[in-house]
Amino acid sequence: MATGRSHRPATRSRGIPEATVARLPLYLRALTALSERSVPTVSSEELAAAAGVNSAKLRKDFSYLGSYGTRGVGYDVEYLVYQISRELGLTQDWPVVIVGIGNLGAALANYGGFASRGFRVAALLDADTALAGKLVAGLPVRHIDELETIVADSQVSIGVIATPAGAAQEVTDRLVAAGVTSILNFAPTVLSVPDGVDVRKVDLSIELQILAFHEQRKAGDEDRQEPDGDVPAVMPA
């Protein structure tokens, strides 16, 4: 397999909208589940329901891939798996480095979904010298001082940051300077990167706060829907 640095997926050069790109992994996950059950074809309605989108949006998204399905038959599951995997760049090997091997970093290192989706964890890095040499998910933790060498030797183009917020920008600067052009950021901070570097942010606390907002709103709706009971008169003191 070619390494991640050899060439980049054709998604943007083909003019596929970012919103469509964001939905492609959802389609791929649903299609992979169908493939594992040996389902040969799927209708746009069935696939849209499995991916959590509406069928009109799905058909529009697939039109960007040049895949229109067959009337009365639907989409060929195996071909769509290949086609979407190719567009996402998952038909090649993408070496990944994870920086920050605390609880979250260690959990990410142990996540089995990376390898099955074309991502190979090339190295685990941490600034804590006490962690150096410790095995996590079968890989020895290496000191952050080795970052530049590892990026060059393994041709890493994707970095995962799981450090505390205060260290994230410095780590980002070093990754970018070493040649990393895509970053997945789990640190609770906004990163500054130059043009040509893509950053995807995952902030679990923000997601929980959004859920808390919805829970509060639902609770308020329930309170407003309760039938009026007898309201005691307020007597003057």
Q: Provide the pLDDT for residue 9.
A: 40
**Are the beta carbons of 199 and 183 closer than 8 angstroms?**
yes
Q: List the domains of the chain with CATH numbers.
A: 18-88 (1.10.10.10), 94-204 (3.40.50.720)
* Res 138 pLDDT > 70: yes
- Residues annotated within the binding site are 100-105
Please tell me the distance from the alpha carbon of residue 66 to that of residue 230, in angstroms, as a whole number.
64
pLDDT tens-digit readout, 51-91: 999 999 999 999 999 877 777 789 999 999 999 999 999 88
pTM of the entire structure? 0.77
Q: How large a percentage of the chain has pLDDT more than 90? A: 73
- Residues annotated within the binding site for NAD(+) are 100-105
Helix axes 18-36, 55-65, angle to 10 degrees: 100
Q: Provide the pLDDT for residue 228.
A: 59
Q: How large a percentage of the chain has pLDDT more than 70? A: 88
Where does residue 228 rank: exposed (0-12), middle (13-18), buried (19+ CB within 10 A)?
exposed
Torsions phi, psi for 104 (to 5 deg)? -70, -45
**Are the beta carbons of 11 and 21 closer than 8 angstroms?**
yes
